[in-house]
Structure 1
């Protein structure tokens, strides 16, 4: 824009300048740029007004760079000034370096989904700054889903092909809610109903303890070595019918379906020895 064009255009009003709209070259250029563009659209600033407001918003290194490179903006349009500031403060590393960082990042253990989504967008902007916005958005959505700590929810959201990062976040949240609702009920049911293997294991343990006690008692009786006439021989009571125990093996006859106290061979041998 020529000097005549600049002076003929509308100029900004310093009283309308937002007080919190400042950039000194040390903060985030992306955040400042987005905020400035938002004020520009709402206020419907012309290029001349936008250049004036931009000049008033700059401090420190940013203002020095603006003054040296643009000669106070006299011969530069607003768009050209923004491109020069973007090149100086917006891209501090090569696109290849930014893409490598973008690919290596993932959600941290203590990071909320919303914070992870914001960080993905922040990383994607410099990594794909020379590519169309749609391509950058697709890369960010894919990275958000693949980098989630909850891999199942992230995979589910990726299969749904969300169009925006917010839609991807909502799909991850929805899958987590459904999974928690189903798995929570399943966990409660498993705690309330012990498995058959647990009951069988407890039964086998009790029978094993009983058999050991009987064996110890038999050894103690043999050590006493009482005369045959002094022994108190009780007639063996008819064995009670007990339920068949599948998987249980008798330590005496090694047959399955009963334990040693119920073994007929044990009872018959005890009867023979007592006579």
Structure 2
């Protein structure tokens, strides 16, 4: 059960823990600048999400860990430091819960934020939680928090068993680990190279759409399918839907495990 309390915290009380950061790549200066401007104009931003950390036995450690709102925290710090807004308090939603619940809350919040995680970041975040907590988080809960498909979570569990049986460690990148144990020369581009490729392709697509001058999504969809071919288009659509188009076609993922059944019967899902 989640215990949420709206409060004000001094930024010096808030700890940053990379365990709860799922975003890759550098920070967005544009997004930070926009939040700083909003803060100067309105004097307030949405509350950040902070966890009152507990140890394995449920006892408080004394740390207040940021789960969501890194940019908002940075905006408050910058504007308070420069004297643009008064005081040192930052509105925060204080969460009292277990570490598992904190991870799910952080992932759910980042998946829905105004600067959401990319699909690749969400897949890697879900894969990371599967590796840490294994079956302790049900497929529906993890799927809902991360925005990936339940089928993908089931595939992640199956892949983890393959790594266990082979006594090998996953890379941590789901696009690589999902192919194990098949050896491949595939090497994902660096975050910077990937951003450049995405930006270049998106500019070309925007230019093409502007030239045709249509907002008809069916025309755009048909054009993309014709350009990519049915197979490649299906892969793209499945990726955006957080599925796995390269699955072996098995239906084992459709059968909930015992933990999932218990949770579904209890109807005790937290409302993130």
Normalising by structure 2, we get a TM-score of 0.22
Higher RCO (CA-CA < 8 Å; seq separation 6+): 2
Q: Which has the larger helix fraction? A: 1
Normalising by structure 1, we get a TM-score of 0.22
Q: Which has the larger strand fraction? A: 2
- Structure number with bigger Rg: 1
